[in-house]
């Protein structure tokens, strides 16, 4: 009588065991535990991966191809062949690709190539006018070297190349350059310093005014004068003192809705470092990159995470430093 009862009890236990979910039958074994863990993790809500947005910016390059290639490699946007490897990064160059050196054609052609390669990769190359671009478009050639003239085949052919209506280089520049640029809503770039009076007009108006003036050969337009965005050095030199300078910078930030202003134009060749004042609200990235100004390599890097937080670094050959 005991044997049938024992058999019945064993049968009941077996039925209960077989009714358990397969993922929990063998939790006491390593294989069973790992399988159960995998099922658990798969069923958890997954946080979407958001790629960090990377922006790099470089200052005045002044017709110096070797230094241009060197600083772009430092910024990790080109390879040894001078081709784009920045992927979805944005590269901003703050003007003055020309003058003081021999490599004008090569430098402009490099940026034109990188602009196309970056776009194909999902990235972006942005150029803003420097005072030297505007000077050359207006045939103010006081800083052009003899090697530069010769590279175009002489002065006449160089003048033809820079014509914005018919010249190959003038048309390239006119199509692709603006006088200022706001990136992702947090940073405004210009060659010279952005003054509050100009900021109040808005970025679109500034770019339109510059474009119209260049097309009409009006190089004496007010936007190209000493207080305009290609010439001003008031912030960099802290004209009026530190407190007044920071006050004016804050006014520009508030007007344009940005977190910082980035300029070139005022070379920091004495120490070769990026200038940062007013708690990082304003920076000068013209460190004297070209050999004419000492060959000080430096680039600015802005990393924007998925939450919109921005972290700013200075990139140097010896490493990078948070600003």
Q: What is the C-alpha separation between 308 and 289, in angstroms, rounded? A: 31
Q: pLDDT tens, 195-234? A: 999 999 999 999 999 999 999 999 999 999 999 999 999 9
Q: pLDDT tens, 71-120? A: 999 999 999 999 999 999 999 999 999 999 999 999 999 999 999 999 99
Which of 301, 247, 239, 241 lies closest to 266 in space, CA to CA? 239
Average pLDDT over residues 117-135: 98
Instruction: Burial-class residue 299 by CB neighbours within 10 Å (0-12, 13-18, 19+).
Output: buried
Domains of the chain: 2-42 (no CATH), 53-322 (3.60.21.10)
283: tokens are 């920076």
Q: How confident is the model at residue 283 (pLDDT cuts 50, 70, 90)?
A: very high
The contacts of residue 249 (CB under 8 Å, 6+ apart) are: 235, 261, 278, 281, 282
Q: Model-level pTM?
A: 0.85
Phi, psi of 180 (to 5 degrees): -160, 165
Which of 127, 137, 132, 64 lies closest to 91 in space, CA to CA? 127
Could you give the residue ranges of the DSSP H alpha helices within 82-167? 104-121, 131-137, 146-152, 155-161
């Amino acid at each position: 009588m005991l044997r049938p009862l024992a058999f019945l009890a064993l049968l009941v236990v077996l039925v209960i065991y077989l009714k358990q979910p397969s993922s929990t039958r063998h939790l006491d074994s390593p294989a069973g535990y790992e399988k159960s863990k995998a099922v658990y993790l798969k069923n958890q809500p997954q946080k979407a991966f958001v790629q960090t947005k990377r922006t790099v910016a470089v200052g005045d390059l002044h017709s110096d191809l070797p230094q241009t290639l060197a600083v772009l490699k430092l910024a990790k946007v080109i390879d040894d062949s001078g081709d784009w490897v920045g992927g979805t990064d944005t590269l901003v160059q703050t003007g003055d690709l020309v003058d003081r050196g021999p490599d004008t054609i090569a430098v402009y052609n490099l940026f034109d190539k990188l602009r196309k390669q970056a776009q194909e990769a999902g990235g972006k190359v942005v150029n803003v006018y420097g005072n030297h671009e505007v000077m050359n478009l207006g045939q103010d050639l006081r800083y052009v070297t003899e090697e530069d003239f010769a590279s175009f085949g002489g002065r006449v052919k160089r003048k033809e190349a820079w014509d914005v209506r018919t010249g190959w280089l003038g048309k390239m520049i006119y199509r692709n350059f603006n006088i200022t640029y706001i990136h992702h809503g947090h940073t405004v770039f210009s060659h010279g310093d952005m003054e509050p009076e100009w900021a109040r007009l808005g970025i679109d108006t500034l770019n339109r005014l510059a474009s119209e003036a260049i097309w009409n050969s009006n190089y004496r337009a007010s936007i190209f004068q000493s207080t305009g965005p290609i010439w001003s050095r008031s912030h960099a030199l802290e004209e009026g003192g530190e407190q007044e300078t920071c006050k004016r910078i804050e006014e520009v930030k508030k007007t344009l809705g940005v977190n910082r202003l980035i300029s070139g134009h005022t070379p920091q060749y004495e120490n070769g470092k990026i200038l940062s004042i007013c708690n990082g609200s304003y920076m000068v990235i013209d460190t004297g990159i070209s050999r004419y100004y000492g060959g000080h390599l430096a680039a600015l890097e802005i990393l924007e995470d998925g939450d919109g937080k921005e972290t700013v670094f200075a990139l140097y050959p010896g490493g990078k430093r948070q600003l």
